[in-house]
Structure 1
């Protein structure tokens, strides 16, 4: 029987997720508006946004291997969070030109990109010790992101766009404080990470899942960049974009909490498959040009697709990778989807916007996600998990 949820460490790890994602929700939805306000062109904004995924491709595996090699996840994450705080102020005060902002944005992402997989690894360790469902913890990230879109928007209206960097720094420092109450597991033996990576490559279910993450996770993240263009194309007002993001992010929390229910009823693989299938249908529907009212009215599709997928996918990585390489496996998965997948979806999606319009970009997202269902089909119905995973 699992331990009660509202114990000290549960509160601390929930607060960690709340504020890590609060920082993301405060910064990224309004970043393009800030860049425009300091004189950046559309092309420059697109190039700057692409810096993050490029850095993440290399930074996330680096942080993951560092944690697994020395078994010091909490200490590494503490440094990452404090580094992100410092980088956010450098970005605000020093990023006045295109080159300076792009370089400092890369520094910020060097730290920021490590926070998600390492916090996921800590949460999965806690889940293993206590029996608490991962979705009950991960939902606080969605709540934090949703609250941040509201709070940051109000502060920007009251002050100026640069306030998003102060909110970001406050949230990351708050995450650092909550992190100090989270325990970290340590292996008795040192971990040979490079040998472990060779073992990961030989796990067919894990490698197939990486391929699906590239094709499914990429459009989920690229949607955050292109949705504003889509909403305006559909006839919506700019003010409605903030409301849409609030509803989208807010809908993820309950589905993350309910992910345990779906997994128990359907199984982990089928839950991920259904979430990805719904995601593909959503992108195809957006590509048909629905009304802004319909998009807002069916906001919960975000939770049923992205929210359910993100919570379940993390558990899949945990169950199909060695425990001693948990953070590395999560970091490589995040790098493949959030890094490489997002970069590809952003670049090709932007080219399609210029050539054919944003509706075709979402049709492309739907097609990518359908391709991602192919390796998921193999994992779900044809390549079963072995009785044991290398420990």
Structure 2
């Protein structure tokens, strides 16, 4: 009965956390699908300039993510650090919205990336700490509201744009999507709400554990951590490029914008219940098993994309996206939260983001673009599919098994472990 009371109390404390995930991911549901379109159409940048602007976040994030993670671990003020970073991100979106011209946009994007790229790894580590005693399913039940928020704003913002975004002048009608600059104040408003919520997150207990100076060196001697980083580097190298270039793949098969939108709706619809079942996946497979399944299913998806030409079957194949997200994107932070020391939780998550979104993301996007230019989209998906399948088969050799220290602590540790 006492343990049940602890779980109920922890779930009650997770309500602000749930609201944070919903509002922050809702902002991403506006920004990420539309930002490149804004740069090309509304800001009038060239293709090369768009590529440079989009490369800023992963480049800056390679430094900002582990740096802010170390600050949070050294001070123990993870919740307050998250609130300040989120507030800075809100102002960054406003600055980006008023920036005009390539140089001004680059400067604003650098400022946004300095704080914005560190929000996700820090919100993950804070969530895992707060939910450590809330039960196996707690993280999935909180994290799913991020997906719901993303999905909701993907559907709602076009309506907002239609009614409030386009001015009555004739000039904007020449654009593919007039009034798109409205995305910045709306995104900033949602992120500002997230910052206010973050200020009220719990600040005591596991979330306040402090690391001493030089403790980060423990990660350099943690073999399980280093082997996991290698696995994450390869997995994300095989995933990022095909995902970012997915619209080009759909176009190569005769699809259009509506086809892409319909596929995303299917992918998110499948993803939501699977995220809710994260606790069951952890119980049956463990974090290492989830990673293996995620990579294997991701490989099967890319391979089928390369080989299947029937539009109906190709549409159905995209349902595999949800399994990959839960297995890889949730399994990664979950596994890391067990193998990394608690006092270095934020630093470890920051390093993971640096490797997966930064190093692997940049290398994958560049390599994928080259493959598409020289061999076509089918070759890209064929190579990445085979690579993912090979990595999945080798995962139990690469990743050490997670040791269970004691039944309660391990269940909570795996539960609290956790894109997009």
The answer, yes or no, to whether TM exceeds 0.5 is yes
State the secondary structure of the residue aligned to 2:40. Answer: helix
2:115 aligned with 1:111: yes
2:43 aligned with 1:23: no
Counterpart in the other structure of 2:356 = 337
* Distance (whole Å) between structure 2 residues aligned to residue 141 and residue 155 of structure 1: 20
CA contact (8 A) 2:242 2:368 kept: no
**Structure 2, unaligned runs of 5 or more:** 166-178, 410-420
Alignment of 1:61-100 (within 5 A): 61-94=66-99, 96-100=100-104
* Distance (whole Å) between structure 2 residues aligned to residue 219 and residue 50 of structure 1: 18
2:273 aligned with 1:254: yes
**Structure 1, unaligned runs of 5 or more:** none
Decide which of 182, 199, 202 is 1:163's aligned counterpart: 182
Structure 1, residues 259-278: CA drift from partner, whole Å, max 9, x if none?
A: 21122122221121011110
Alignment of 1:105-184 (within 5 A): 105-133=109-137, 134-158=139-163, 159=165, 160-184=179-203
> What TM-score does the superposition give when structure 2 sets the normalisation length?
0.85
CA contact (8 A) 2:290 2:331 kept: yes
2:367 aligned with 1:348: yes
Q: CA RMSD in A?
A: 2.4
Deviation at 1:227, TM superposition (A): 1.3
* Distance (whole Å) between structure 1 residues aligned to residue 394 and residue 201 of structure 2: 35
> What TM-score does the superposition give when structure 1 sets the normalisation length?
0.91
* Distance (whole Å) between structure 2 residues aligned to residue 272 and residue 288 of structure 1: 24
Alignment of 1:1-391 (within 5 A): 1-2=3-4, 3-4=7-8, 8-37=12-41, 38-94=43-99, 96-133=100-137, 134-158=139-163, 159=165, 160-185=179-204, 190-193=210-213, 195-288=214-307, 290-370=309-389, 372-373=391-392, 376-380=395-399, 383-385=400-402
1:146/1:326 CA distance change after superposition, 3 Å: same
CA contact (8 A) 2:80 2:199 kept: no
State the secondary structure of the residue aligned to 2:301. Answer: helix
Alignment coverage as a number of residue pairs: 385
Structure 1, residues 69-118: CA drift from partner, whole Å, max 9, x if none?
A: 10011111111111111111111111x22232123212212211111111
Q: Which deviates the most, 357-366 or 58-67?
A: 357-366
Larger radius of gyration: 2
CA contact (8 A) 2:10 2:131 kept: no
* Distance (whole Å) between structure 2 residues aligned to residue 36 and residue 105 of structure 1: 15
1:300/1:76 CA distance change after superposition, 3 Å: same
